[in-house]
Amino acid sequence: MNPETKLAQLKTLLNEYTDLVSTIGLLHWDLETYMPDGGSDGRGYQVATLSRIAHLKLTSDEVGQLLEDLTPYTNELDPDADDARLIRVTNRLYRKKSKVPATLMAEIAKAASDAHLVWVRARQEANFGDFQPSLEMMLDLKRQYAECFRPFDHIYDPLLDDYEPGLKTADVQEIFTTLRPQQVELLRAISKSPQVDDSFLHQNFDESIQWKFGVEVITDYGYDWQRGRQDRSTHPFTQDIGLGDVRITTRFMDNYFPSAFFSTTHECGHGLYAQGIDANLDRTPLANGASSAIHESQSRMYENVIGRSRQFWTRYYPSLQDYFPVQLGNISLETFYNAINKVEPSLIRVEADEATYNMHIMLRLELEIALIEGSLEVKDLPEAWNNGMQEYLGITPPNDALGVLQDVHWSQGYLGYFSTYALGNLITAQLWECMAEDIPDLDAQIQRGEFNALTSWMREKVHRHGAKFEPQELVQRITGSKIDQRPYMRYLTNKYTEIYQQ
């Protein structure tokens, strides 16, 4: 059998595997949006069954044999060709997944589905004790998962690798060790300046009007409503069910405008990435983002670097004032711009300003590693969280809902994920500096509400490649260096030095 025929057979099997994964994604989306509470048990079994079948499909002897036969064929191909990368990426995925029993994957999927509604209720009640057993079970399963990959440098490595292929725990710790004192120094400098006033943001903003304005902006960004939709959820997220079906969610606070708007633009960034992947990669393992950090670089860019910029609001603030004349009619553009960029330690990660956001992530990484290592017991997590918040940000949560229960990730088994948010911030600034060189009038285009050149640049450099390249490789190809904190610190320092006039 010639290589082309074997490759066609492999693609057929991968299409079926991807269809199963996409269906699981649809079930998760429904779980977090419209599923009635009574569907929880059944949904857990459905997801577990499909996860087991998908795992068996990918790790079958047939896939393994095809990969073995096709590996020499890649030497005949351009190393960057879609087929060459598909074989390489699938090989990596196959080797990793083959180390994990299908029964364990099903258990993790069932536990995640069951834990979600437990977390929702525990958060509503601000009672970590209700969620503790679910988290203990998830941690036990995730340790079993990590143990499948011995030998490793650190037990956290296999979990991190699920979201950042090729990156090690030591790599992330080294980046954060360099970054943290620089961010602390900036925060200390900002704290010496008079605080900006954002009190006018804390008043009633009609939810339906917030929705309308957010839709207007992300439509201008380029979000394709023929291949996407927006809904409400407890925790904003994006679910790509296929390149033709990319769904985002948001949440609203009727007494604080920035919450829904920046959640909407954040998820739009994820959505644009998913919608921009080359159609030739559809229904294969390449039809994903390169990594969670690369995905976060897109969401944080559209949320913050664009959405919190003076250029952006020069164009959109008059429209927002028309939507909310009573609340904002007498508030100047400069006052509004400063307010949405106010730097102040806060309890909730997703509401945090750019200058303090990474401190939330560093704390979560520290706690996750301690939990996986076993040096921190789940029952002691709320106290460790509160102590860490005091150390990192100088504030202590008054209850579990505003503290240890605020994020959905642990209930869903996403251990290894949190550091990708901060890494995404760093990548955002690296990409932005390169893009600004290639598009000299970028700021002027944003000021006019024109995003075609910006998004086209991202489509060409990032989006279309999907998962063809590992994150460090992709960043190196675009920017000339691996993940580097310096552009991000330049961005933060320049922006907040001006706002706080240090």
Residue 305 has what DSSP assignment? I
H-type alpha helices, 59-168: 61-70, 82-97, 102-125, 128-147, 157-163
Query: DSSP per residue over 306-335, as a string?
Result: ITTSHHHHHHHHHHHHHHSHHHHTTS-HHH
Active site residue 267: yes
Kindly report the number of other CB atoms within 10 A of residue 212's CB atom.
Answer: 11
- Give yes or no for a cis peptide into 151 (omega within 30° of 0): yes
CA dist., res. 417 & res. 408, Å (int) = 11
CA dist., res. 395 & res. 32, Å (int) = 30
Residue in 32, 107, 164, 267 annotated catalytic: 267
CA 129 to chain centre: 27
H-type alpha helices, 394-502: 419-438, 442-447, 452-461, 471-479, 486-500
Provide the pairing of β-strand 228-232 with 245-250.
parallel
Return the H-helix or E-strand segment holding 45: helix 40-58
Rg (CA), the chain: 23
The tokens of 257 are what? Answer: 């405008």
**Known catalytic residues?**
267
